[in-house]
Structures are given as structure tokens and as C-alpha cells.
Amino acid sequence: MQNKGLIKFFAIIFTLVSVYQLSFTFVANGIAEDAKAHAKGDTKKELAYLDSIGKTDVMNLGFTKFTYNEVREKQINKGLDLEGGINVILQVSVKDILKGLANDSKNPTFNRALDRASKEQQGNQTYLDAFFDAFEAESNGTLKLASNEVFYNRNLEGDINLGMTDDQVKVVLRKKVAESVESAYGVLRERIDKFGVVQPNIQKLGESGRILVELPGAKDIDRIKNLLQSTAQLEFWETYKVEELGNFFVAANDALKKTETKSATTTADTTAVKENKTTKVEDLLTDNKKDAKKGTQDLGPLFSKIVMPGQQGAPYVAVFNVKDTAKVNSYLNRADIRALLPVANARFAWGKTSSKTPDFTELYVLKGTSDGVPPLSGGVIVEAKDTYDQFGKPAVSMQMNPTGARKWEEITGNVSKQGNAIAIVLDNQVYSAPGVSKGAISGGQSEISGNFTIEETKDLANVLRAGKLPAKAEIVQSEVVGPSLGQEAIDNGILSSLIGLLLVSLWMVIYYGRAGWYANVALAVNLILIFGAMASFPGGFVLTLPGIAGIVLTMGTAVDANIIIYERAKEELREGKTLENAVIAAFGWKGAMRSIIDANVTHVLTGLILFIFGNGPIKGFATTLLIGIFTSLFTSIFIARFFIDRDIQKGRSLMFATEMTKNWFTGFNFDFLKIKKISYAFSTIVVIVSCVSFYFNGFDQGIDFVGGRTFQVKFDKPVNPEEVKEVLASKEVFESAEAKTFGNSSQLKITTKYKIQEENATVDKEVNEKLYAALKKFYAKEISYEEFINTNEGKNIGVVQAVKVGPAVAEDIKTNAYWAVIGAMLVVCLYLVVSFRRYQYSLGAIAAVAHDVIFVLGVYSLLYKYMPFHMEIDQHFIAAILTVIGYSMNDTVIVFDRVREFLGGASHHGSFNKIVNDSINTTLSRTLNTSLTMILVLAIMFVFGGDSIRGFIFAMLVGIVIGTYSSLFIATPVLVDTISSDDKKHIEEEHNV
């Protein structure tokens, strides 16, 4: 080997740099453990401890020192599936941004285009592009984007003029939308930084308007979702008094009686609220019919929903049950009902529910300006802080700027004279509605009080200080992982890694003897380089459970190159070459290098496609695979070679085998082409059966592809999944749900699509509450809502993982999956055409890969109802399919390289089929060995890797087995059958001269 000294120098430098980079992770983890021990489960205390040592030197290398903050930035971070916490993707509403830019235009063409874009947006298409297409279709050239009815207005003054073309306006709109998303990103960043979690991560996802937020260790799930989704749209409205609108509500109720189904006869249930004095509205509710019995009078559709009418002079008109608010909204939003309002600037709003009476809420009628907008908005707030009101209850105090202070003085003066109230509205919800009894309030000081907890006032002050979002941001995808589940994943990952490393190393020593030890040293260096590379990533690398799976897989692939080299060296030794010449030939391009490069290029191509189209943990899996490919090539080719060359220099014998294994997998003379009709028939039957199963049996599609909510719930005793399913699928809960045993009989995986189209924190909390109410009876001991939902340290019952995927995200994932699989097959086959210079090789490879993909899909379609573990078609499954494509190509390339070598030389005699059979037989040792190491590693991960990745590993396990079969019995026969008889005759003539 030339330049030994230089290569040795780089190998040592790379290893030392990797150890140096990894040292930061070891130090940071040690400090994090000390912080947890100090905090004893208190997250705030843990964060305070870490903040206190942020600028303290914690690592001294003699020549330089590092503070804790510097060390933390350089460590390998654990993903949420290992650390626990919450991961959400927020979709900033581009529709709302466009409405704002158009100054809330009422143009029907514009609004139809907005609605059409929402309905027709395709997977991976941005809403903005969908809007442009919809606007073009709706306007049909009759309306321009630069029209004064659309985007030529005061909001875009100076950016858009009447003479601009639609294409010119599109450029401006893209810029404005990007600015709004950037603004939302900044607001969310500020909110999260003040929330108090260790190492939060927030990043924009391309140009989609989506923002990823990761909060490791976060526990209060409902609180976090409220914090993230609140737009902080603060408004100050005057209210109408109850007696001002009594006649309207009577008229509305009478109108509804004529159009709605006869309402239930009932009496207002006031047990949950305090009794009130009789008011005008209450009088209006009284049925004066002499023969009406108490509790049986027909109150009408609207009045029958009222729990309690408002008192005279009260800021709200009535109290309703929370579950009836949607129905009441539908009544009050009807055009014919709104036409009965005596004023045009009225707006209905609901009050914030109280923890003491969570089932009830007040209905307010707000008084806007002549344009129907609030007289004062939150843009005037310059400071907000959590405090306590005059009664000692948590509140939020606010200070306004001079303009806001003047307007505030005017509004409070009006309210003081009129005797009504000021409704303080945040995100369309009335938080409080105080009256003003002592005249106008000057100075711009105001306060929000009500039924708050201390945490709520802290969060409210936080979002008001950070500012409002430019548009609503809804959670379209989320994942919650409990710390106990994260620790379990770490334990499973470490166990499977150690066992995999041990068994692969043991096999290499048993099969290759001393050369196997050299391969093991190379493997150990390879692992150091992988972790060193991950630790060197700018911004920090995030290690996930699929990432660990990628590392364990790398152990199998790392020895593949050594196996190919060693098998080639053995062949050269059998031909009578010296050890030195055999090693030179084996490491040469015509020896093992061409096969190694071809095989690894196919791996790199599939890994890149997986990286491009994958997201989250799957991207981490792809990253570790790609890193492992390059480090494996370096260590297999150079590290092991050092020791082999040293043996040559010292005159030591090296057999690349042991006495027991030296004749294993040799002397094969199997006629693979003779039985091609049998293999064709078998594979055809498998493909037909699989396709029939696709049609009739379908797949167990995960929520990644269809959207929905999944909860992994642990119980304190074994439960019957059918009983749980029956409860959850009732009309009172989710109407439709699935419940399956996950791992052991005291753990279930629950899936539902309940209200998945509604993406807001209120619905998410409703789902959590319904789940808790339905499942609490299945526990032997009483469990509170907080214990059930929140991810507290040491938690071992309740929801340990929750995932939500909205329909739009699911459509994107499905589109990405489709293109990833098709793209991987096409790109790899294109490479084979270039590399092998014959399209027949590519046809053989594509036939084998298509066969393998259909086979794996068929197994999942046929068996998902019967296997004791989950076999969902989700992102992890697609990652497995792409990995299978890569390894199937790997096996096929190894065989094809030998076929090309035998067909291209003149040293092998006989018929065309005999030459091909001989080439296949000589590769059996390397083909079976590489496949067996992979199968061994995957089998270990399948057994010890944990329930969450078992289905993912099973797909790869089946794929590797069937990929080995197809490379021998499908790919090569297809190659042979597609080569013309003239070419075969020409090759035979060259080989039998």
C-alpha cells in the first residue's frame, strides 16, 4: 500500500479528533445527570442549576478551557424518543396572511380562490402556490392580483401598484409571506426561550410555512400547546348590557322555532352556578301558559340551551354549557338571525372557562367601531408582567404606549358613563370584563384578572411581551414522549448495540481467524469515527432511536467490505499467489474495490433519497447510515490493511480463514439458471398473491399516511383491548377508534381520527380529557388527569407517548414516500446502466428490487392482522423499504460484478449459462456472509430493540432475506434472458477459442 505513513497519520488524526469531539458529550451528560440529581424531578430547579453554571469552566484540557454553555453546544443531543418531551410542527396560516395583506377583502373571486386553495392543495404544494392556481382559475383573467379590490391597498402601499402584472405581484406576496413566517418564528423563539426547558430547538421547515419546535423534558402538555398556538391577538371591546339585547334574543328564539327541530322541553339547570336575581331576560324565558308544568315548557332552540341568564347590568347575556357553544354559534351566525340585531357592529364572544366550573361559559356581545373592529388592540402594549390583583389572585398587568393610553382613557370614560363593561379579549376569548365606576383611567395602565393559575398568568404575560403572531399557527403534527419511554428506548438501543457488536465480532473471528480480529479493530475505530462525526455537526447532532438502529446496521455493513476483500484474497491464494500478491490483487480495482465501490454507491444514493424525503427521526436514520458508509469504507480499506501489511512484512502466515471454516461455502456447482422457471413461477405466485392481498386485505396504514391521533397508554393491570375499543368507539367518546395490545397486555396503542381536521389547542385538550374520562375506570388505582396526560419524571402509567398527524401533513408524507421509493429505484438503476455499460444489468436489478418491495409489502398486507407486533405502513416502514432497496442492490451488484468479470475475461470456458453459473457459485461465500451478518444484526435488534421499532426492523429483516434470494434467482436469470442470442454466441466464441 502506497503512502502508508500519510494514511496512518490521517487515521490517527481522525481518531483523536473524534475522541476530542466526543469528550464534550461525556462531560455534558455528566453535568446533566448532576443537575437531575440536584433537582429531584423539579424541571425549574434543574434549569436554574444549569443556568447558574452556564459560564463556569467545566472542562480543562490544559491548553484551553470550556464553559458549560460551550460544552453543551458541542455535545450529541438526544432526540425526543430518547429524552422524552414534546415535538410539534406548527403551520402558520398563509391563508390568514393573505387575508391580512388584502385588507380583509370581501371580493367574492378572491375569497373563493382562498377556499378553493384550501380544498385543492396537493401534497408538498405550498398553500401560496395553490392560491395562485386557484385565483387564476377563479378570475379567468377578469381580475388581477394588483386590483384595488385585492392587493392594491394601504397594507401594501409602495410594494404593489395598479400597473403590475400577476407575476410581479406573486414575487411581492412570496416575500411578504416569508417575512410573516419569519416574524412568527421570532415570536415563537422568544416565547420558548422564556418558557423554561433545557435545550429547546426551533427551526423553519423550508418554504412550507411550517415551524418545528422540540422541547426536551417538557411535561405540561396542554399548557405547552396553548403557549405555542396562542396568536396573542389582544383586543379591548366595550360590551352591550344584557337589557339592551333582550328583544333581539326573544326574536331570534322565535325565528329559530320555525326552522329548527322542536327543542327539548327543559328547565335551566342552575346547580353548577350561583342563583341570580330575576332579570328582564329571565322574565322573557318564562312561559306564561297556565297549563305548562314546571320542567316541561317548550323554551325554543336558543333559550333551551341557556343554563342561566345574565343579571341586569351584567356584561354577559347568559351562561351556556360548553358542549352547546358550537350549536349556539351556528344559530347566531345565521344571516337571518344576524339581520334581527338592532346594531350592525355587534360581535359574539365566549368567556374563558373556570377550573371550578369547566363545563360552563358566558356569552358576551361586544360593541365594535363602525367598521366592526375593536376600538383598541394589543399593539399598544409595551410591557406585561404577571402579578396579583386587589384580592390576591393571579393577574396580568399591562402598560400601554402614549397613543394607547389616550384611547384607553377615552374608552374607560365612556364605559364609566354608560354603566357597561370593557371586555379584554385574547384570541377571540373574553378573559375578563370589568366595569369602570370611578371615571376615566389615565396613564395607560390596565389589568387582566379572572380565574387564572400562576402558570397561566406567567404564560399570558410571556406571550404578550413576545408579541402576537402574524397569523394563527396550528399544530398539524405532534409527538409526546414520556421520559420513562425515552429511557426504555436508550436501554434497548444500548443492549441491541452491544449484543450486535459482540456477535458480529465473534463471527468474524470464528470465520476469518486473525484477519477477523483486524476487521474488528477496524469496526471499533469505525464506531469512534461515526460518533466523532456526529459530535462535529454544526449546531449539534440529534441522535434518535432510528439513528441508533442506523448505527447498529452500520456494524453489519462495516464488515461487508472486509468480507468482500477477504473472500477475494482467499480466491487469489487458492490460485497459488503469494500472500503479498493476493492482498494486492484483493485490494485492487479489478479485485474487490470495484464491487465495494459499486455496492456503496447504491447505498449512498438510497441514503441520500431517504435524507431528502424523510423527516425527523427518519432523517437521523439516513444521516447515521450515510456517515457509516463513508467511515466504514475508510476503516475497512485502510485500518485492516495496516495489520495485514504488518503480517506480510514479518513473514506471518495469514489464511483469511480458520481450520474449521477454510472450506466453508466452497466447491459449489449449483445450476441456478436451470431452475429459473421454478424461481420465476414461485416469484410470480408471490407477486400475484401480494397484489390480491393489496386489493382485498389492504394495509394497516399508520397515521403518518392517513392522519389521526395515536396514544400509547400504560395501565397498572392487564386490559382487554376489545373492551377499551368498545368504550372509545362509543358516540359519547370518539365514535370511531382502534385499540391494540402493544408489547405486553397492560399496554395499548390507541388510534382515532376524532376531530383531526380541527387543529387547535382546545380540541387537543378535549381529546385528552375524553381519553382520560373513558380510560380511568380501567385502572386498579385512581389516577388524576395530570398523572394520566403529563410526562412526569418516573412516570410508568398513563399516556407515555402521543402522536398527532394532520391531514395536510399526512398527504405530504405520503407524497414524499411515493417519490422516495420510485426515485431510489430509478436513480440506482440509472447508476448501474452507467457503471455496467449494459442496460440488461439494470433490468435485472430493477426486476429484483421491484420483486423485493412487492414481497415485503405482501408480507405486511397478509400478516398485519395476525402478528403479535405492529406492522403499520408509516414513515419508518418506508425507511425500511429504502434500506431494503439499497441492500438488495448491494447483493445484486456483488453477483453482477463477478458475472461481468467472468464474461469479460477469456479464462473461463463452456457455454454462456455455465460461465454465468460459475460466476454466481464463486460469489456465494461473500453473498451469504454479507447477508448473514446483516440478518444477525437485524435479528438482535428485532428481539432486543423494543416494541417501537420492531415492525421497522421486521421489514428490513424480511427484505434482506428475500433480497439475497432475488439477487441469485431473479436478477441474474433476468439479465441472462435479456441478453440477445447473438451476444451470447459471441461471448461463447471468445471463451472457447
What digits encode the pLDDT tens for the residues 744-777? 788 888 888 888 877 666 788 888 888 999 998 8
Q: Average the pLDDT over 184-200 and give the result.
A: 71
Whether residue 480 has pLDDT greater than 80: no
Helices 981-991 & 912-944, crossing angle to 10 degrees?
A: 100
At residue 230's C-alpha, the angle toward residues 227 and 755, to 5°, is: 95
Is residue 951 pLDDT above 60, yes or no? yes
- Model confidence at 973: pLDDT above 80: yes
What is the band of 286 on the pLDDT scale with cuts at 50, 70, 90?
A: very low
Nearest in space to 886 (alpha carbons), one of 839, 930, 916:
930
CB 222 within 8 A of CB 789: yes
Residues 6+ apart with CB under 8 A from 525: 11, 15, 635, 639
Extract the C-alpha cell encoding 705: 399516511
Label each residue of 187-231 as H, E or C: HHHHHHHCCCCCCCEEEEECCCCEEEEEEECCCCHHHHHHHHHCC
Angle (CA) 407-411-414 rounded to 5° is 140
Cα 487 to Cα 122, 483, 749, 795, distances in angstroms:
39, 6, 19, 11
- Contact by Cβ (8 Å): 322, 763: no
Mean pLDDT rounded to a whole number for the chain: 80
Q: With contact defined as beta carbons under 8 Å apart, do 809 and 477 qualify?
A: yes
For 60-100, write each residue's pLDDT tens digit.
887 888 888 888 878 887 777 677 778 788 888 888 889 88
Query: Hey, how many other C-beta atoms are within 10 angstroms of the C-beta on 15?
Result: 16
Q: E strand or H helix at 475, and its extent?
A: strand 473-481
Residues 699, 701, 703, CA angle at the centre, nearest 5°? Answer: 175
Residue 867 confidence (pLDDT) above 90: no
Query: What is the band of 616 on the pLDDT scale with cuts at 50, 70, 90?
Result: low
Tens digit of pLDDT for each residue in 112-169? 999 999 888 876 778 888 899 999 999 988 899 988 888 888 878 788 888 888 899 9
Pairing type for strands 306-309 and 346-351 reads: unpaired
Cell numbers at 387, concatenated: 402579578
pLDDT-derived band of residue 683, with 50, 70 and 90 as boundaries?
A: very high
Query: Which among 131, 189, 210, 357 has a CA at the least distance from the CA of 759?
Result: 210
d(CA 474, CA 468): 14
**Mean pLDDT score, 309-334:** 86
The pLDDT of residue 700 is 85
Q: What is the pLDDT of residues 462-473, one digit of tens each?
A: 777 766 677 778
Strand partners, 86: 215, 480
Give the pairing type, strands 542-543 and 77-78.
parallel
CA–CA gap between residue 762 and residue 124 (Å, rounded): 27
Give Cα separations from 611 to 90, 496, 506, 626 (angstroms). 21, 24, 32, 9
More confident call, 748 vs 11: 748
Could you tell me if 218 and 197 are in contact, meaning their C-beta atoms sit under 8 angstroms apart?
yes
Q: In the prediction, which pLDDT does 465 show?
A: 72
CA distance 942 to 965: 21
Residue positions counted in the chain: 993
Query: In the predicted model, is pLDDT for residue 691 greater than 90?
Result: yes
The helix-helix angle for 221-229 and 454-466 (nearest 10°) equals: 20
The secondary structure of residue 352, as a DSSP letter, is P
Q: How far apart are CA 725 and CA 744, in angstroms?
A: 17
The beta-strand segments (E) located in 331-444 are 346-351, 360-367, 376-377, 381-388, 394-400, 422-426, 429-432
Q: Which three cell numbers stand for residue 170?
A: 406573486
**Tens digits of per-residue pLDDT, 341-378?**
888 788 899 988 877 788 889 999 998 887 778 888 87
Over residues 911-935, the mean pLDDT reads 81
Confidence of residue 195 (pLDDT cuts 50, 70, 90): low
The percentage of residues in the chain with a pLDDT greater than 90, rounded to a whole number, is 6
CA distance 339 to 106: 19
Cα 328 → chain centroid: 36
How far from each other are the two terminal CA atoms of the chain, in whole angstroms? 37
Between CA 102 and CA 94 the distance in angstroms is 12
289 pLDDT band, cuts 50/70/90, is very low
Contact 161, 152 (CB under 8 A): yes
Q: Give pLDDT tens digits for 375-400.
A: 888 778 888 888 888 778 888 888 88
Q: How far apart are CA 201 and CA 540, in angstroms?
A: 11
DSSP assignment of 651-673, as one string?
A: T----SS-TTTTTTT-S----TT
Q: What confidence score (pLDDT) does residue 217 get? A: 67
Query: Under a CB-based contact definition with an 8 Å cutoff, are residues 606 and 557 in contact?
Result: no
CA nearest neighbour of 254 among 150, 331, 200, 177: 331
What pLDDT does 265 receive?
Answer: 44
Does 690 have pLDDT greater than 70?
yes
C-alpha closest to that of 11 among 526, 519, 501, 515: 526
pLDDT exceeds 70 at position 280: no
Interior/surface letters 198-229, b for 16+ CB within 10 angstroms, e for the rest: bbbbbebeeebbbbbbbbbbbbbbbbbbbbbb
Residue 51 host element (H or E): helix 43-52
Whether the Cβ atoms of residue 68 and residue 47 lie closer than 8 Å to each other: no
Closest CA to 279 of 313, 311, 314, 316: 311
Lowest mean pLDDT among 288-302, 709-723, 758-772: 288-302
Pick from 477, 491, 955, 948: nearest CA to 747 = 948
Mean pLDDT of 645-655: 84
Please say if the pLDDT value at position 684 is more than 90. Answer: yes
d(CA 629, CA 609): 15
Instruction: Report which listed range, 205-214, 348-357, 514-523, is most confident.
Output: 514-523
Q: Which residues pair with 473 in a beta bridge?
A: 92
H/E segment holding residue 801? strand 798-805
- Confidence band of 540 (pLDDT split at 50, 70, 90): low
pLDDT at site 605: 83
Distance (Å, rounded) from C-alpha 758 to C-alpha 326?
Answer: 13
Least confident of 138-147, 516-525, 847-856, 883-892: 883-892
Q: Are the beta carbons of 146 and 160 closer than 8 angstroms?
A: yes
Query: Is the CA virtual torsion 871, 873, 874, 880 positive or negative?
Result: positive
CA distance 507 to 519: 11
| Domains along the sequence of the chain with CATH | 4-75 (no CATH), 93-195 (no CATH), 234-263+300-468 (3.30.1360.200), 482-698+811-991 (1.20.1640.10), 708-805 (no CATH)
Which range scores top for mean pLDDT: 595-604, 675-684, 699-708, 887-896? 675-684
3-class secondary-structure state, position 908: coil
Rounded Cα distance, 962 and 881, in Å = 12
Share of the chain above pLDDT 70, in %: 89
Residue 798, Cβ density class (10 Å: 0-12 exposed, 13-18 middle, ≥19 buried): buried
* pLDDT band for position 908 (cuts 50, 70, 90): low
Of the listed ranges 248-262, 291-305, 735-749, the least confidently predicted one is 291-305
Whether the pLDDT of residue 571 is over 90: the answer is: no
pLDDT of 557 above 90: no
Closest CA to 472 of 207, 149, 233: 233
Tell me the β-bridge partners of 388: 394
Query: Residue 1 pLDDT more than 70?
Result: no
pLDDT of residue 203 exceeding 90, the answer is: no
Annotate 513-556 with DSSP letters as a single string: THHHHHHHHHHHHHHHHHHHHHHTSTT--EE-HHHHHHHHHHHH
Would you tell me the crossing angle of helices 839-863 and 875-904 to the nearest 10 degrees? 150
- Residue linked to cell 447510515: 625
d(CA 197, CA 44): 8
Contact 449, 460 (CB under 8 A): no
